[in-house]
Chain A
Amino acid sequence: MKMRKVGSLVLILALLVSLVGCGGSTQNSDNNQAAPTPQQSEAANAKMQEMEDILMAQLQPLPETNTGDKIGILVITLTNPFWVGMKEAYEAAGQELGVEVEVMAAPTENDSKSQLETLQAMTAKDYKALIISPIEPFNLVPGIVQANNKGIKVVNLGPGVDTAAVANAGGKIDGRICVDFEEQGKLAAEYIIEKMGSEGGKVAIIQGIPGAGQSEGRTQGAKKAFESAPNVELVSIQPANWDRNTAYNTATNLIQAHPDLKGIFCCNDVMALAAADALEAAGQREGKIIFGVDFIGEAAEAMKSGKLDGSIAYSSTVYAKAAVLLALKTIQEQEVPETVFSPLAVVTKENIDQYEGWK
Chain B
Amino acid sequence: MIHRLWTKTQDYASQVLLGLILVAAIIYLSMVSEHFLTWFNIRNILDQSTLLVIMGVGMTFVICTAGIDLSVGAVVALSGICMATAMHSGLAVGPAILLGLLAGTIIGLLNGLIISAFNINPFIVTLGTMSVTRGIALIMTGGIPIYGFSTAFTWWGSGHIGPINPPMLLALGIALAGAVVLNYTKLGSYALALGGNEEALHRSGVATKKNKVIIYGICGFTAALAGLVVTARLNTAEPLAGYMFELDAIAAVVLGGTDMKGGRGSISGTVIACLLLGVLRNGLTIMSIPSYYQQLAIGLIILIAVIISELRFRNTLNRLQEAN
User: Quick one: which of B20, B33, B290, B301 contacts A26, CB cutoff 8 A?
Assistant: B290
Number of interface residues of B (CB under 8 A): 61
Least CB separation from A164: chain B residue: B148
The residue on A at minimum CB distance from B144 is: A211
Instruction: For chain A, residues 144 to 175, give those with C-beta under 8 angstroms from any C-beta of chain B.
Output: 146, 150, 162, 164-165, 168-169
Decide yes or no whether B282 CB sits under 8 A from chain A: yes
- Complex Cα–Cα for A210 and B297 (A): 32
Of all chain B residues, the one with the shortest Cβ separation from A77 is B291
Tell me if A190 is interfacial: C-beta within 8 Å of chain B.
Answer: no
Determine which of B32, B35, B235, B293 lies in contact with A125 in the assembled complex, contact meaning CB atoms within 8 Å. B35
Considering only residues 113-169 of chain A, those with a C-beta below 8 Å from chain B are: 113-114, 116-118, 120-126, 136-139, 141-142, 146, 150, 162, 164-165, 168-169
CB-based nearest B residue for A115: B291
Q: Given A19-B296, A121-B286, A209-B240 in contact, is the A138-B25 Cβ separation under 8 Å?
A: no
Q: Of A23, A112, A121, which one neighbours B293 at CB under 8 angstroms?
A: A23
Residue of B with least CB distance to A103: B290
Is B85 interfacial (CB 8 A cutoff)? Answer: no
Q: A111-B243, A136-B145 are in contact. Are A211 and B290 (CB under 8 A)?
A: no
- Do A124 and B236 form a contact, CB below 8 Å, given A15-B300, A110-B244, A162-B147? no
A124 and B297 within 8 A (CB): no
B292 close to A (CB within 8 Å): yes
Interface of B is mostly: helix
Interface residues of B in 216-246 (CB under 8 A from A): 230, 233-236, 238-245
Contacts of B238 on A, CB cut-off 8 Å?
112, 136, 138-139, 211
User: Interface centre among A15, A117, A137, A150, by most B CB within 10 Å?
Assistant: A117
Size range of the chain A interface in the assembly: 35 or more
B123 at the binding interface (Cβ < 8 Å):
no
Contacts of A26 in B (CB 8 A): 290, 293
Residue among B44, B292, B304 making CB contact with A78, cutoff 8 Å: B292
Residue in contact with A5 in the complex, picked from B33, B239, B282, B312, CB distance below 8 Å: B312
Partner of B289, one of A24, A141, A164: A24
Residues of B within 8 A of A20 (CB): 28, 32, 284, 287, 289, 297
Q: Which chain B residues lie closer than 8 Å to A19 at the CB level?
A: 293, 296-297, 300
Task: Kindly state whether residue B24 has any CB partner on chain A within 8 Å.
Answer: yes
- B48 on the interface (CB 8 Å rule)? yes
Q: Which residue of B lies closest to A110 (CB)?
A: B243
Across the interface, do A138 and B234 meet the contact criterion of CB distance under 8 Å?
Answer: yes
Contact A125–B305 (Cβ < 8 Å)? no
Question: Are A102 and B288 in contact, with the CB atoms below 8 A?
Answer: yes
- Hey, what's the 0/1 contact readout for B77-121 against A, CB within 8 Å counting as 1? 000000000000000000000000000000000000000000000
User: Is B184 an interface residue when CB atoms closer than 8 A count as contact?
Assistant: no
Contacts of B234 in A (CB 8 A): 116, 138-139, 141-142
Q: By the criterion CB–CB under 8 Å, are A16 and B28 in contact?
A: yes
How many angstroms from the CA of A17 to the CA of B239 in the assembled complex?
38
From residue B110, how far is it (CB to closest CB) to chain A in Å? 25
Interface flag for A8 (CB, 8 Å): yes
6 cross-chain pairs, A with B, having the tightest CB-CB distances, nearest first: A210-B143, A23-B293, A121-B285, A124-B41, A138-B236, A23-B289
Cβ contacts A to B, 21 pairs, < 8 Å: A5-B17, A8-B311, A9-B17, A13-B24, A23-B287, A26-B293, A27-B290, A78-B290, A105-B290, A112-B238, A116-B234, A120-B47, A120-B48, A121-B285, A122-B285, A123-B40, A123-B44, A124-B44, A139-B236, A168-B235, A209-B240
